[in-house]
A and B are shown apart, each in its own frame.
Chain A
Amino acid sequence: MTDPTSITVIPAAPLHALEIWANPQAVATRVQKALGFALPVMGRSAANGAITLMRFEPNVWLAEGDVSVLADTLGDDGALTGIGGGVVRFRIAGPGWRELLLEGGVFDTSAAALPAGATAATVIDHVGVRLHVESDDACVVYVPSSYAQSLHHFWDAALPLLGA
């Protein structure tokens, strides 16, 4: 049987680092009012149709999508910085994605540790990556562009190992 786990490069999307340095409660209130959802807690994500926020650091979120509304909520309490030019997004989908991400990894990808909606910043085969679990069947991996081709090759080579 052919392994159904797949690795796909997703078309580029606007990506920004959102850092909040002051008045976090006030910013959170403004963000919730503007976006319709609360700023996600550490290791989690939240989204509406236009934007997804993923929290990887205490004061830093990854914003994927249209940040125009978000930018208006920050004032002098935070900033958005574009980083999308340096990131390649991979979607790893299928029943073996959790096992595949254990290859060269240091992170527990089990459903209990990394459920749908969860985010994590970790290292795979020496490369710093960010994970966002879209669903039980798929995870998006944000990889520095310079490493993308090598890591894609690394995963391709490891696919036949799934279940071995």
Chain B
Amino acid sequence: MSGPARAPSGEETIPFTFDGTTYHARPGDTLAAALLANGVGLVARSFKYHRPRGIMSAGIEEPNALVTVGKGGRTEPNTRATDVFVYPGMVAMSQNRWPSLSFDIASIFGLAAPALGAGFYYKTFFGPAKHWMLYEGFIRRAAGLGNAPTEPDPDNFSQRAGFCDVLVVGSGPAGLKAALEAAEAGKRVMLVEQDAVPGGSLLRDPDPAIDPAAMVERIKALGGEVLLRTTASGYWDHNFLTLTQRLVEPGAVPPHGFAQRLWHVRAGRVVLATGLIERPVPFANNDHPGVMLSQAVRSYVRRWGVLPGKRVVVATNNDDAYLTAQALVEAGAEVVALLDARASGPAAPAGVSVHYDARPSSVTGRKHALRNVTAVIGGSEQSFEADLIAVSGGFVPVSHLHMQAGGKLVWNEEAQAFIPGETPQMCETIGSALSPPPAPAVAPAGKAKKSFVDFQNDVSLADIDLAWQEGYRSVEHLKRYTTLGMATDQGKTSNMVALSRLAEKQGVTVPQAGLTTFRPPFTPVTMGLLAGAGARNAGAHVRRIPLHVLHKAHDPIWQPLGYWFRPRAYPVDGESLAQAALREARTVRTVAGLSDVSTLGKFEVSGPDAAALLELVCATTVGKLAVGRGRYTFMLREDGFVSDDGTVWRLAENRYLLTSSTGGADRMAHHISYVRNSLRPDLKCSVVNVQEHYAGIALAGPRARSILSALIGAEPPRHMGYVPGVLAGVPVHVLAASYSGERAFEIHVEASHAAAVWKAIEAATRAEGGAPYGLEAMELLRIEKGHVVVGGEVDGRSTPQDLGLGGMLNKAGGFIGAAGLTRPALALPDRNNLVGLVSLDGPIPEGGMLIQRAGQSPQGHVTAAARRILEGGAIALALLEGGHKRHGEEMIVSSPTRGEKARVRVTSPHFYDPAGERYRD
């Protein structure tokens, strides 16, 4: 019997399935170890040619053994079998094969390999664009490895902050020592290890003098934090690192509901003890199951008690592989040959025949293992019957984090490797990554076409040669042309082999050939982890208005507005949204309605210089307001464009209330803070954001005044007046302002007492035949009145003059944006101006383009469309080139995307009560 195996010990207690077959693993087994232990060597099919693939490594660098783990929404495709620990009930499936792993019809692509080399897509899929429709389906079906789950992920993902004096990445001998020393020196230490147990290379090559578990306990006892199953995936500026922590294994059900955690760590100093990755060796069929990295073989033998093969060839260019031969012999395997590419090497284990100047040239194999290894020894070919070849082509220091940190690399000729050099951050690399073993360059033997370099992308030496022949000189171009170094492993095992080949072709040294860029993440990161809590129902929080519960009792249609949720309409008796909104708007026009305007931006400005600050922020005059009066205002950016609008009220001698739009509230808060603290820190005033302190209730309609008068027991203020009052026993601010075009009031009340006030107003309004109204009715009302909305007509490109507000500008100037407004371009006659549109036939499509005849370029667009509330007929607001002087023109509103159009007449934007008589008592 040949192939991988493990002698049963009775510890095989963990059941799991692979492709539907049940196996048993030992505690601590990776899926790769467990599969090998159960004699399974074939675990995957390659990306392009569907070649049979086995397990090459024992770590995160694995390019071949990608499987899908888990069920339903927890399904995680493209999981490295070497980086997932078996748990009871684990379900693992092979990928990229049909109908089965053993018999994959798509492996026929392998026969066409000569025609499918580098640049195949670029050379094949060209021609008329319509042909792409044919190519696309084929390419999409063929592309990719595992399939993403179609169900939502049921688990949560945590994001957590971390802080430490010293962050040590890697718990091998160097990392353990550094972490313990720092902890003993009183430093706050974090030690992260991507494996499930500490030790790193000690798990493969134990040192009796080092006890990783004891060292970890000591670090913890000194207050250090040790994170296992945690990968430092990104190194950003200012020693900020992101760590990805698996709280449970992929596909497992987390007991606390969280599958993974993304750490945001700010470290005083970073110590990278990230070790080495072994280089594979190119030769024909070097991707077959049974071809493994030498150190991986040693790991399976010593850590997991698995014998990946019983008759083994070891091929190397360095001394380290001799340790593998020793481990194999000790485990009872037969090392049939040790092929050393060098002229000499260290002493080999007893009974092992060493061949110098020897390189593997090809292998043949069975389903789960090799059959035969052919080598070139001293220029002659020789074959060995073997089920496994353990290869070592040297070592690559893991310098990804060092490079992400902005570090430099230094070429080590003896090891044929780049090692970490200088870094601009408080970071150092220690341990084996600084001193890889000597490993001379070795010319590959065997057919280049089947000598794979990038196993994950089926890139062979021949593909690199072809790219070179076709003129791709830069390593970056090589990468993109061949797909070398892409996908989940990001070239961890392939880049240096490929670089060596490119350098050889160019006739330059490897450093001269160049390097591709190291980018985060170091290993693949689940998308849900980046979304964090936002993947569920937090993170992108729902902002609840103070009266949320009261509104909910009316079962309204809710409208998301940023994070806010506001009632859009309150349908009754099965009304549609449109029907409800029209009824509510008509109620406002004929009786009275109340609406929740709590989300308005609100700022209380107080102090002797309050007016001075407001005259800087607002483009209208403020300073002359009498106590108890208010006015409409708008604010500009420094470039002169309108950024927001609202109202400003003088509550007392030195106290004002400024309101602004809901959508612009946060922006306005930043702006006012900037003005207060940066532009005019000298002003004697205070600006406080009271958006959430006050709830706001709008009461509008011809009976609003009488309703309010009864509620507050006093005469309400005239239009744009303010009085303090008491309503339902609660102190309120009563502001006489209208957005609807009717006599209207805003009642602002401390939010925690707003419910009583709303209930009183609602009861009194309903008693008069009125009703609550939502955002949709508010939109109908304001369009008919011709009021602008920020985000609609105020689109960041409108000046006050464009919107017909130029007459309100503070003629004394001095406000932010005054200088910007003087730019000649802002006074050109063909600027987009706010106009109204009246339909001459059907509804006006919102967002439609304004044109004069078919085929003409748009001269403007519709910003908001509605219908007349009482009279019927379609109207709209629009921004039209030179619109102020085009009233009376007939135009066409065209919406090609909706296939709709309407003839319209350009008018004033004020359709309803243009004289403002309805504001007055």
> Which residues on A are within 8 Å of B, measured CB to CB?
12, 17, 19, 21-22, 76-79, 81-87, 102-108, 110, 113, 125-127, 144-151, 153-154, 157-158, 160-161, 164
For the complex of A and B, list the 6 residue pairs with the smallest distance between their C-beta atoms, beginning with the closest.
A86-B692, A19-B686, A150-B541, A85-B750, A160-B256, A146-B543
Measured in the bound complex, the distance between the Cα atoms of B672 and A123 in whole Å is 20
CB < 8 Å neighbour of B163 from A17, A79, A110: A110
In angstroms, how far is the closest chain A Cβ from the Cβ of B616? 15
Cα-based distance from A83 to B264 in the complex (angstroms):
32
Alpha-carbon distance between A126 and B533 when the two chains are bound, in angstroms: 10
Q: Is B570 an interface residue (CB 8 A)?
A: no
* Contact, CB under 8 Å: B604 / A153: no
- Per-position contact with A for B739-774: 1 when CB-CB < 8 Å, else 0? 000000000001111000000000000000000000
Taking a contact as CB atoms under 8 Å apart, the answer to whether A146 and B247 are in contact is: no
Q: How far is the CA of A157 from the CA of B655 in the complex (A)?
A: 43
Instruction: Give Cα A106–Cα B693 distance, bound, in whole angstroms.
Output: 26
Asked if B505 is an interface residue, CB under 8 A from chain A, the answer is no
Q: Which residues of A contact B690 (CB under 8 A)?
A: 81-83, 86
Task: Flag if A144 contacts B692 (CB, 8 Å).
Answer: yes
Q: Which of A83, A104, A146 contacts B544 (CB 8 A)?
A: A146
Of the residues B161, B264, B686, B750, contact of A21 by C-beta under 8 Å: B686
Residues of B close to A87: CB separation below 8 A: 692-693
Residues of A within 8 A of B684 (CB): 21-22, 76-77
Contact call A126/B539, Cβ cutoff below 8 A? yes
B504-541 vs A, Cβ < 8 Å mask (1 yes, 0 no): 00000000000000000000000000001100111111
Q: In the bound complex, do residue B541 and residue A164 qualify as a contact, i.e. CB atoms below 8 Å apart?
A: no
* Distance between Cα atoms of A147 and B541 in the complex (Å): 7
Please name all residues of chain B whose beta carbon is closer than 8 Å to the beta carbon of A149 when the two chains form the complex.
Answer: 542, 544
Interface extent on B, as a size class? 35 or more
Give Cα A126 to B539, complex, Å: 6
Given contacts A83-B693, A108-B163, A145-B692, contact A157 B538 (CB under 8 A): yes
A–B complex contacts, Cβ < 8 Å, 17 sampled? A21-B683, A21-B684, A21-B686, A85-B752, A85-B753, A102-B160, A105-B161, A125-B159, A125-B533, A145-B751, A146-B543, A149-B544, A157-B538, A158-B158, A160-B255, A160-B257, A164-B258
Most B Cβ at <10 Å: residue of A77, A108, A144, A145: A145
Which residues in B have some Cβ–Cβ distance to A below 8 Å?
A: 156, 158-163, 188, 247, 255-258, 261, 264, 266, 532-533, 536-546, 563-564, 604, 606-608, 655, 683-686, 688, 690-695, 750-753
A34 to chain B, nearest CB (A): 19
Distance in angstroms between the alpha carbons of A81 and B563 in the assembled complex? 26
- Considering the complex, give the chain A residue whose CB is closest to the CB of B258: A161
Q: Are B258 and A17 in contact (CB under 8 A)?
A: no
Of the candidates A21, A102, A160, the one having the most CB atoms from chain B within 10 angstroms of its own CB is A21
A105 B685 Cβ-Cβ under 8 A: no
Instruction: Please state if A102 and B258 are interface contacts (CB–CB under 8 Å).
Output: no
Question: Which chain A residue shows the least CB distance to B689?
Answer: A83
Q: Least Cβ distance of B606 to chain A in Å?
A: 4
Shortest distance in angstroms between B70's beta carbon and chain A's nearest beta carbon?
19
Minimum CB–CB distance from B751 to chain A (whole Å) comes to 4
Of the residues A79, A85, A113, contact of B751 by C-beta under 8 Å: A85
Cβ–Cβ contact B538 & A150, under 8 A: yes
Which of B160, B257, B608, B692 touches A105 (beta carbons < 8 Å)? Answer: B160
| Residue contact A104 to B532, C-beta cutoff 8 Å | yes
A151 to B537, CA, bound (A): 10
- Cα–Cα distance between A158 and B264 once the two chains are bound (Å): 17
Please tell me which one of the listed residues A19, A103, A147 contacts residue B160 in the complex, with CB atoms under 8 A apart.
A103
Task: For the complex, give the distance between the alpha carbons of A87 and B539 in Å.
Answer: 19
CB neighbours of A125 from chain B (8 A): 159, 533, 538-539, 541
* B161 x A107 contact (CB < 8 A): yes
What is the predominant secondary structure among interface residues of chain A facing chain B? mixed
Are the CB atoms of A102 and B161 closer together than 8 Å? yes
The residue of chain A having its C-beta at the shortest distance from the C-beta of B248 within the complex is A164
Contact status A113-B163, CB under 8 Å: yes
Pair B162/A102 contact, Cβ less than 8 Å: yes
Contact of B541 among A12, A21, A85, A126 (CB under 8 A): A126
* Interface pair A86/B691, CB less than 8 Å apart: yes
Distance to closest chain B CB from A106 (angstroms): 5
Say which residue of A82, A104, A126, A153 sits within 8 Å of B750 (CB atoms). A82
Known: A145-B692, A146-B692. 10 other contacts (CB 8 A): A19-B686, A78-B686, A82-B750, A84-B750, A85-B692, A125-B533, A145-B752, A146-B544, A151-B538, A161-B158
Cβ-defined contact, B256 with A19, below 8 A? no
How many angstroms from the CA of A22 to the CA of B683 in the assembled complex?
A: 9
Once bound together, how far apart are the Cα atoms of A15 and B750, in whole Å?
12
Task: Provide the residues of chain A in CB contact with B532, threshold 8 Å.
Answer: 104
Distance in angstroms between the alpha carbons of A77 and B607 in the assembled complex: 8
Provide the residues of chain B in CB contact with A102, threshold 8 Å: 160-162
| Contact status B692-A17, CB under 8 Å | no
Note all chain A residues with C-beta closer than 8 A to B604. Answer: 81
A-chain residues with CB within 8 Å of residue B158 when the two chains form the complex: 103, 158, 161
Is A19's CB under 8 angstroms from B751's CB?
no
How far does the Cβ of A60 sit from chain B's closest Cβ, in whole Å?
Answer: 8
Shortest Cβ distance from residue A118 to the other chain B in the assembled complex, whole angstroms: 15
Indicate which residue in B533, B542, B683, B694 contacts A104 across the interface (CB closer than 8 Å).
B533
Distance from A54 Cβ to chain B, minimum over Cβ atoms (Å): 15
Chain A residue contacts of B694, Cβ below 8 A: 85-86
CA distance A126 to B532 in the complex (A): 11
Chain A residues within an 8 Å CB radius of B256: 160-161, 164
A105-B532 Cα distance, complex, nearest whole Å? 12
Residues from chain B with a CB closer than 8 A to the CB of A108 are: 161, 163, 266
User: Is B686's CB under 8 angstroms from A147's CB?
Assistant: no
| CB closest chain-A residue, reference B690 | A83
Residues of B within 8 A of A157 (CB): 156, 257, 533, 536, 538
Distance of A78 Cα from B687 Cα, bound (Å): 11
Cα distance A21–B681 in the bound complex, in angstroms: 9
Given known pairs A85-B751, A145-B546, A158-B158, the reply for A104 and B539 (CB within 8 Å) is yes
Cα distance A106–B264 when bound, in Å? 8
A150–chain B nearest beta-carbon distance, Å: 4
Given contacts A81-B604, A85-B750, A164-B258, contact A146 B161 (CB under 8 A): no
Residues of chain B contacted by A22 (CB below 8 angstroms): 684
Interface centre among A77, A83, A108, A151 (most CB of B within 10 A): A83
Among B162, B545, B607, which residue has the most Cβ atoms of chain A within 10 A? B607
CB distance from A136 to the nearest CB of B (A): 16
Find out whether the CB atom of B688 lies under 8 angstroms from the CB atom of A164.
no
Q: Are B163 and A104 in touch, CB under 8 angstroms?
A: no
- Nearest chain B CB to A119 CB, angstrom units: 17
Report the minimal beta-carbon distance from A51 to chain B, rounded to whole angstroms.
18
| The one of B159, B533, B686 that contacts A79, using a Cβ cutoff of 8 Å | B686
B863 to chain A, nearest CB (A): 28
Are A81 and B688 touching (Cβ within 8 A)? yes
> Hey, which chain B residues are within 8 Å of A154, CB to CB?
533, 538-539, 541
Which B residue's beta carbon lies closest to that of A160?
B256
Give the nearest-CB partner of A20 in chain B.
B686
Q: Which residues of the partner chain A approach B541 to less than 8 Å between Cβ atoms?
A: 125-127, 147, 150-151, 154
Which single residue of chain B is at the shortest CB-CB distance from A21? Answer: B684
In the complex, the answer to whether B688 meets A17 with C-beta atoms within 8 Å is yes
Nearest Cβ distance between residue A154 and chain B, in whole angstroms?
Answer: 4
Find the A residue at minimum CB distance from B532: A104
Cα-based distance from A78 to B398 in the complex (angstroms): 58
- The CB with the most chain B CB atoms within 10 A, among A85, A106, A108, is that of A85
Shortest C-beta distance, A115 to chain B (Å), equals: 15
* Chain A residues with CB below 8 A from B545, complex form: 146
CA distance A87 to B689 in the complex (A): 12
Least CB distance from B666 to A in Å reads 10
Q: Is the CB of A164 within 8 A of B247?
A: yes
The reply to whether A81 and B686 form a contact with Cβ atoms under 8 Å apart is yes
Most buried by B among A107, A110, A150, A153: A150
Residues of A within 8 A of B539 (CB): 104, 125-126, 154
Question: Across the interface, do A86 and B693 meet the contact criterion of CB distance under 8 Å?
Answer: yes
Residues of A contacting B537 in the complex (Cβ-Cβ under 8 angstroms): 150, 153
